[in-house]
Amino acid sequence: MNDFILSGLIFSPLLAALVLLLIPNRLQQPIRVVALSGTVVQLILAILLYFRFDGAAFANGHTGYQFVEKLNWIGFSLGSLGRLQIDYFVGVDGISIGLVLLTGIIGVIGVISSWTITKTVKGYFLLYLLLMTSVMGCFLALDFFLFYLFFEFMLLPMYFLIGIWGGPKREYAAIKFFIYTLVGSLFILVVMIGLYTSVIDPVATAAYLELLPNGVASQEAVLQVQQMLQQNVISGSELVRTFNIPAMMEPANYIPGSLLHVLSGSVLWDLPLRFIAFLLLFAGFAIKVPSVPVHTWLPDAHVEAPTPISVLLAAILLKVGGYGLIRIVYPIFPDAGAYFSILVGGLGVLSIIYGALCALAMNDLKKLIAYSSVSHMGFVLLGLASLTVEGVNGAVYMMFSHGIISAMLFLVVGVIYDRSHNRMILNFRGLASRMPAYTSFVVIAFFASLGLPGFSGFISELMVLLGGFSAPDVTGMLPRWMTVVAVVGLLLSAAYYLWALQRMFFGKYWIFPELREKANIADLTTREYLMLVPLAILTLLFGIFPHLLLDKMGVAVTGFTELVLQNGQEQLNMVLSTIIR
């Protein structure tokens, strides 16, 4: 079972980066080839993993991870606080499998798109490969510390990739990106500290207390330790504190008296501390998603970043935010998740509408698409907040589908920018007559994004809306008007896409006179076909056969919603009861 395929996925780009270090700067072509092979290996492993992954395997949120690798990494004594254990703990489940596959695909597309980069090629691909390692690590880590390490490590390569290879205002955009996401990750850091000081690893503690007869972890031993813990009979110095995310999901693993225990009764500004922790974590990940009102870094970063980096940013980096919410925030704080569902759903709807309205007002095609990302990621929040099986399935599906489609959208913008060094919508008219193939891909991308049936975007939006509409009856989470408003977002997105299409591509051919001399309006090259065709096929494939992904993730998502709903309601009652007392 265990052949270290996940480690292979995480570290294959890093390995390629190490090989790059040995190649002299001037050999640009070998550098590109090595970078490509690093990501291709990652893609092959991701595809293998996808086929070997058993979608029907039991999963309930705590367990059900497959291909798990767990190694002791850091362990030291905290004195009277017991021991601290950090593991190299990775695994994959239905929620992450799609994102792993997506990361593999986009990684290769990104390298192909980067083929035209000529400025310090070696540095560029080094950073690119580092970025791929850390994104993949984020999706596979099951230890909070490991996750945080990869999460933070995405910032730096991205900062330099935007700041060195970006457009005219790249420095401003890079710093804004860095500061925003760093502040977000600091929020996460605080909660992470609070969590690991509150949570024990029952298996490791049992081993420490010598409760495991043959050194084999058993369910009884775990239960025994959890009971002993809740009865307060284990002394502080014998506890093994952990960053283990599945352990954090079980209330029985929280140390009585610690601030994040459900019965701690600790409050801050009249809110239970668990709620504050939820809000901090949510804020941290919402910046990454990004949700209105903390989205303002995104348009700047997108506009200034070079095309391949925009693709990576939109297609996989944003997904880390949504993934963090599903993997970490909701399962660990289901009580607060249930309590704040209106807030999360409301921000989702706000992002949908506000993002769409901004997109409507943009003259820069790339900005339009950046805002459409904000709008579409709002659906992830909405689906998640509904806590229905359909809604969460839709949210996860949306992340995958938006990954494919937004990659296509940014590539399409890159094509016109490469040819004319301009991407203002009003500078072009009637491009369809000169670039028919290009126009057809634009149409596919736009229609896929606005949710035309047959494309993957449709499936995800449909499921989110179904979930949203049934939520008041099934889970009692969201008021129905929110979903109604979200539907308006769909109309708006049709409006801005079709309007842009009409203005730029249809009618008589014309481009802005000053651009005419420099511009070389030719149709797609082979390299561009190589990137756009697979993406177009994928969005159709997953639009027509959604079960390809739904079968893999269904069990995990159902397990997730059950866990969050059941535990959420129970824990919410407990938290609120201690407050009132």
Pick 156 or 485: Cβ nearer other proteins: 156
The size of the chain, in residues, is 581
- For position 563 contacting other proteins by CB under 8 A, the verdict is no
Q: Of the candidates 258, 296, 422, 569, which one interacts with other proteins according to CB under 8 A?
A: 258
User: Residues with Cβ < 8 Å from 79, sequence gap 6 or more?
Assistant: 237
- Closer by beta carbon to other proteins, 266 or else 578: 266
Residue nearer to other proteins on the CB measure, 259 or 294: 259
- Residue 491 makes contact with other proteins by CB under 8 A: no
- The nearer residue to other proteins, 163 or 321, going by C-beta atoms, is 163
The contact pattern for other proteins, residues 191-230, with x = CB under 8 A and - = no contact, is --xx-xx---------------------------------
Out of 56, 81, 498, 533, name the contact with other proteins by CB under 8 A: 81
Could you tell me how many residues of this chain bind other proteins (CB under 8 A)? 41
Nearest distance, CB of residue 389 and other proteins, angstroms: 36
Helices (H), 325-435: 330-332, 334-339, 341-361, 365-386, 389-420, 431-434
Q: How far is the CB of 171 from other proteins (least distance, A)?
A: 5
Name the residue among 347, 386, 373 with its Cα closest to residue 465: 386
Task: For residues 278 and 332, give the distance between their C-alpha atoms in angstroms, rounded to a whole number.
Answer: 9
Beta strands in 157-249 (DSSP E): 240-242
Residue whose CB is less far from other proteins, 256 or 436: 256
Asked whether 146 and 88 are in contact (CB, 8 A), the reply is yes
- Residue 87 near residue 244 (C-beta atoms within 8 A): yes
The residue within the footprint of other proteins, chosen from 77, 566, 573, 577 (CB under 8 A), is 77
Judge if the upstream peptide bond of residue 479 is cis by omega within 30 degrees of 0: no
Gyration radius of the chain over CA positions: 24
| Site stretch for other proteins (CB under 8 A), options 69-77, 325-333, 334-342, 457-465 | 69-77
Residues 266-325 that bind other proteins (CB under 8 A): 266, 268
287 closest CA partner among 321, 310, 320: 321
Applying CB under 8 A, among 167, 256, 257, 476 the residue interacting with other proteins is 257
Residue 164 or 579 with smaller CB distance to other proteins: 164
Site string for other proteins, 143-182 (x = CB under 8 A): -----xx--xx-xx--xx--xx-----xx--xx--xx--x
Q: Answer yes or no: are the C-beta atoms of 344 and 578 closer than 8 Å.
A: no
Nearer to other proteins, 8 or 236 (CB): 236
Q: Taking a C-beta distance cutoff of 8 angstroms, is the pair 278, 333 a contact? A: yes
Of 19, 44, 78, 207, the residue at the interface with other proteins (CB under 8 A) is 78
Name the residue type at position 91. G
At closest approach, how far in Å is the CB of 189 from other proteins? 6
Binding-site member from 190, 271, 350, 519 for other proteins (CB under 8 A): 190
Residue 323 φ then ψ, to 5°: -65, -40
Nearer to other proteins, 170 or 327 (CB): 170
- Taking the complex as a whole, how short is the minimal distance between the CB of residue 270 and other proteins, in angstroms? 14
At 453, list the tokens.
């049936």
Alpha-carbon torsion, ordered 58, 63, 65, 71, to 10 deg: -150
Q: How far is the CB of 371 from other proteins (least distance, A)?
A: 26
Counting Cα atoms < 13 Å in the Cβ hemisphere of 391 gives 30
Say whether residue 186 binds other proteins (CB under 8 A): yes
- Residue linked to tokens 């599906």: 397
State in angstroms the smallest separation of the CB of 249 from other proteins: 20
Triad 59, 64, 68: Cα angle to 5°:
165
Residue pair 106/407 in contact (Cβ under 8 Å)? The answer is yes
Q: Would you say the C-alpha torsion 387, 359, 158, 131 has a positive or negative sign? A: positive
Please, what is the minimum distance in Å from the beta carbon of residue 301 to other proteins? 15
Q: Is 183 in the site for other proteins (CB under 8 A)?
A: yes
If binding is defined by CB under 8 A, does position 76 make contact with other proteins? yes
**Residue 76: closest CA among 195, 241, 201, 216:** 241
**507: alpha, beta or left, given left = phi > 0 and alpha = psi -120 to 50?**
left
Give the interface with other proteins as residue ranges (CB under 8 A): 73-81, 120, 123, 148-149, 152-153, 155-156, 159-160, 163-164, 170-171, 174-175, 178-179, 182-183, 186, 189-190, 193-194, 196-197, 257-259, 266, 268
